[in-house]
Structure 1
């Protein structure tokens, strides 16, 4: 199982939010490039970048910083936040991003997902952010009427191979991942599931690995790494040993 450190970017800085709320922000690096280089040095095999400004405002705001990160590291980078049209996704891929993550547009304009999957097979990931089992969009401020599993099944039909599944109630809280919801999602869909939200300990990593058999292929870690609750090298050792 792959462990993917998160680098969330807001106003040009590396930050972490709690529940995705802007007034619960902690700045960890003034320069997100330094955060990215740190995780690569400590053994990460992939990075997860989020343009928080883009997620809340509906259009990418930190593409130049993301390009700097891509050029500064040798490991693959996946990017989400404010990618709501074909042109934006194509631009990021041209800048060297390995995978783009579509969120709101998967609900509002599924045709965009389908077109991108045809043009860039294997490089399109859908981020499904769930609140009480239902999909939240537009930077988590708006709750849709669609169930997360139903959306995932629709995305699989359009050509998506992998999703990032985030439990909003757990994100940034260090309360542990929602293992039951993750297993339910992984068993229900023919997709690789990247877990996100709530990981707080090495025990959480071990518990998530038990879900690998159902299709949980990776886990995104943010708050636990930045606070020091989890050491990346120790977490990687657990996955390697298994």
Structure 2
């Protein structure tokens, strides 16, 4: 199981939100690229990046910091946040991003996502509020169940699905293992858990399912409730 440390970018800084609310942003670093390098030094292979401003604007808003992160580390990078057309995908791929996360557009235009999987490494982000898909930077809740959207991409060629329980994100209240399993079973695609990871027990619980391919760790690292080096050791066994 992969561990993906997370850097969420807002106004060029690394921040964490609580339940996706922009006004809840807590700043953890003014130099996100330094954080990225530290994750690499700890033994990470991946970095999960989100352009929070871009998620609301629908276009890239933190390009300077994303470029710095790419220049200063050798991690594999996945990036999401307001990516809604092929021109933006190409722009990020040209910057050296390894795979692209498509979120809101996966609900609005699944055929577009399926077409992009034939050209690029695509991950679908499914964020849910009370089991229903959240869109537009989590500002809105749709009428589609997250499991139904996961089923839509069962044979679409996506590399993975990242599923986030928005109600738990940034709360350090524990990951929603059941929700993650529901998405994995509905899609049959590699599924990465996100939202609420608190400590090593969450990582162990996800790994013991034998059905979860990864976990994104954000606030737990920043608030010191999890030792990333230990998490890497546990998941490499």
* Structure 2 equivalent of residue 118 of structure 1: 118
Contact 2:129 2:141 in 1 (8 A): yes
> Are residue 166 (structure 1) and residue 168 (structure 2) matched?
no
Per-residue CA shift, 1:23-64, capped at 9, x if unaligned? 111100001111111111111110000000001122111123
Q: Is the 8 A contact 2:152 2:187 kept in 1?
A: no
Alpha-carbon distance in 2 for matches of 1:18, 1:231? 21
- How far apart are 1:111 and its partner, in Å? 2.8
| Structure 1 segment 27-66 matched on structure 2, within 5 A | 27-66=27-66
Q: Which sections of structure 2, spanning at least 5 residues, go unmatched?
A: none
Matches within 5 A, 1:1-242: 1-120=1-120, 123-211=121-209, 213-214=210-211, 216-241=212-237
Q: 2:77 touches 2:99 (CA, 8 Å); kept in 1?
A: yes
**Structure 1: tracts of 5 or more residues without a match:** none
TM-score w.r.t. length of structure 2: 0.97
TM-score, normalised with respect to structure 1: 0.95
CA gap 1:240/1:118 in 2 versus in 1, 3 angstroms: closer
Worse overlay, 149-158 or 231-240? 149-158
Q: How many residues align?
A: 237
The runs of at least 4 aligned residues of structure 1 exceeding 6 Å deviation read: none
